[in-house]
């Protein structure tokens, strides 16, 4: 049963964090406005996975902590992973979600997808979203590093 719980935890973590890494493919700078519109629609569909997978990863992680012999919760790898996960959720929902909604709303007019480039204001929003994606992805990589190496302290 323990191995099954670990398997669920690892798979849900990968599925939950995966769209954060995939976003860089969708939000590449070298794409047309029409391609960006499609990317935004695709990303909207991918947002489902962090909600379910990420939540399941946290729940199974807490269960694993209590049924296993992992030591103090204040260890860097445990507490650090949890804090980073929460920060990723804040970034994805609070910042990136807001930017992608603005872009989706703007591009919901089919005539705008025929533009050669985004207006400056929306290009700036796109750039900020992309920067936050890189930050969230970096934090996701750090979570995996902490979970694999399990350092007690830095």
List pLDDT tens digits, range 34-91. Answer: 899 999 999 888 888 877 888 898 899 899 989 988 878 888 888 899 899 889 888 8
Residue 154 belongs to some domain of the structure: no
In degrees, rounded to 5, the angle at the alpha carbon of residue 21 between the alpha carbons of residues 96 and 16 is: 85
Give the domain extent around 133: 2-149
Residue 145 belongs to some domain of the structure: yes
Residue where the block lists tokens 């207006």: 119
Residue 89 belongs to some domain of the structure: yes
Number of domain units in the chain: 1
pLDDT tens-digit readout, 2-33: 899 999 998 998 888 777 777 878 888 888 89
pLDDT tens-digit readout, 135-150: 999 998 999 899 889 8
**Residue 76 and residue 54: Cα distance in Å, rounded?**
20
Q: Does residue 57 contact residue 12 with C-beta atoms inside 8 Å?
A: yes
The pTM (predicted TM-score) of the whole model is 0.82
Residue 100 belongs to some domain of the structure: yes
């Amino acid at each position: 049963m323990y191995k099954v719980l670990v398997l669920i935890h690892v798979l849900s973590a990968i599925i939950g964090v995966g769209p954060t890494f995939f976003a860089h493919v969708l939000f590449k700078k070298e794409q047309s406005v029409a391609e960006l519109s499609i990317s935004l629609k695709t990303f909207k569909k991918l947002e489902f996975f962090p909600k379910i997978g990420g939540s399941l990863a946290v729940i199974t992680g807490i269960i694993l902590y209590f049924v296993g012999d992992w030591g103090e919760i204040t260890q860097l790898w445990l507490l650090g992973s949890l804090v980073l996960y929460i920060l990723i959720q804040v970034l994805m929902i609070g910042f990136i979600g807001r930017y992608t909604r603005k872009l989706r709303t703007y591009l919901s007019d089919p005539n705008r997808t025929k533009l050669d480039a985004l207006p400056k204001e929306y290009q700036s929003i796109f750039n900020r979203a992309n920067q936050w994606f890189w930050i969230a992805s970096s934090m996701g990589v750090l979570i995996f590093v902490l979970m694999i190496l399990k350092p007690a302290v830095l």
